[in-house]
Amino acid sequence: MEGIDILSLDKSRLEEYITSIGHKAFRAKQIFSWLHEKKVRSFDEMSNISKELRETLSKQCYIDYPKIIKTMTSQIDGTKKYLFEMNDGSLVESVFMIYHHGNSVCISSQVGCRMGCTFCASTIGGLKRNLSASQMLTQIYAIEQDTQKKISNVVVMGTGEPLENMDNLLKFISIICDEDGFNLSQRSITVSTCGLADKIRELAKSKLQITLALSLHAPDQKLREQIMPIARKYSLDEVMDACRYYFDKTGRRITFEYSLIKGVNDSLQCAKKLIALVRGFNCHINLIPVNPVRETGYLRPDKSGANKFLETLKKNNINATLRREMGTDIDGACGQLRKRHIEEEI
């Protein structure tokens, strides 16, 4: 699309732009509120902005929302999956979830992914491109408008590796947390990474109060390399050091995600190694029975196997939970909706 992607400008950049075209800085705050608090989709709706300025904005900028092309709603718990089409035809998946502590949206940060985790459907077709800040924001705004529900938590855990798209991720956080806009608190945002150690350190330096989730999935280097190719580039030691650094800089407890895969990482020996690995770490372990993906052949352990793993951690005073499963009747988490749609089109 041509022109300025106005939804990707944080308030200070919007101010710079508005003053550069000869208007007062306070106009930027009003426009920002139209875009991110009231979430209008056209400049014409900005009723306290002069016609002349609205016309200039229409000529120079665009407000772009993705199209909802498919949804699936769980009859069990109201989880709703969305398949969006971006203006270049790219497909992106997001999920709306209802928890007792509020409604949560899981957004994608890239179109596709190049990290190659062996259990994940999102990476099978590779990476197409990064999403802009506005394309991360509008997944949330479009879902809010569709559900008419307040969204109090955001997890960047959909398709893509968010720390590979750091600039846009930081812009996204700055905009969504702005008090003149959506006004989300940083503590209500979780960013999940497969473990780009240098980027974790970079993020730590920005001293945000967001939660960092590390996709650990294996308690030692050898097994981690087998299931996550990124582990060859950043060793487990490096990644754990980076997480410690993150905690030291921000004071925020780290979440470790551990997808239980039957016969791969769910043994008692793995549980013991995991305990030793995180001993003394201020963290929370989130166990997730792996979502079976046709291409991977991986299966989840049965309920008693998953519970045994959990109990072993707990008995050793490790803070851990087995993730409540959401939308089991609409399966296909982790990029499978998008992938299936692409296959059907071909």
Which residues have a catalytic role annotated? Answer: 93, 334
Cβ proximity to ligand SAH: between 174 and 192 the closer is 192
Q: Return the residue of 334, 337, 338, 339 that touches ligand SAH, per CB under 6 A.
A: 334
- What does R_g of the chain's alpha carbons equal in angstroms? 21
66 or 112: CB nearest ligand SAH: 112
Find the binding residues for ligand SAH in span 96-115 (CB under 6 A): 115
**Only segment of 68-76, 171-179, 244-252, 283-291 that touches ligand SAH (CB under 6 A):** 283-291
Query: How many residues belong to the chain?
Result: 346
Of residues 130-149, those binding ligand SAH (CB under 6 A): none
DSSP annotation of 42: S
Residue 332 CA, distance from chain mean position: 17
92 binds ligand SAH (CB under 6 A): no
Binding residue (CB under 6 A) for ligand SAH from 227, 291, 310, 330:
291
SS (H, E, C) 178-233: CCCCCCCCHHHEEEEECCCHHHHHHHHHCCCCCEEEEECCCCCHHHHHHHCCHHHH
Is residue 95 part of the contact set for ligand SAH (CB under 6 A)? Answer: no
Applying CB under 6 A, which of residues 6, 189, 290, 326 lies at the interface with ligand SAH? 290
Binding of residue 193 to ligand SAH (CB under 6 A): yes
Q: Rule CB under 6 A: is residue 243 a binding residue for ligand SAH?
A: no
User: Considering only residues 173, 293, 322, 326, which one is a binding residue for ligand SAH as defined by CB under 6 A?
Assistant: 293
- What are the start-end ranges of the E strands in the chain? 4-5, 61-62, 67-73, 80-85, 91-99, 102-106, 110-112, 127-130, 153-156, 189-193, 211-215, 254-260, 283-289, 320-322
Separation between Cα atoms, residue 40 and residue 33, nearest integer Å: 9
By CB under 6 A, tell whether 255 contacts ligand SAH: no
| Strand bridging mode 91-99 / 211-215 | unpaired
Using CB under 6 A as the criterion, which residues of the chain lie in contact with ligand SAH when the complex forms?
A: 115, 117, 119-120, 157, 161, 192-194, 215, 257, 259, 288, 290-291, 293, 334
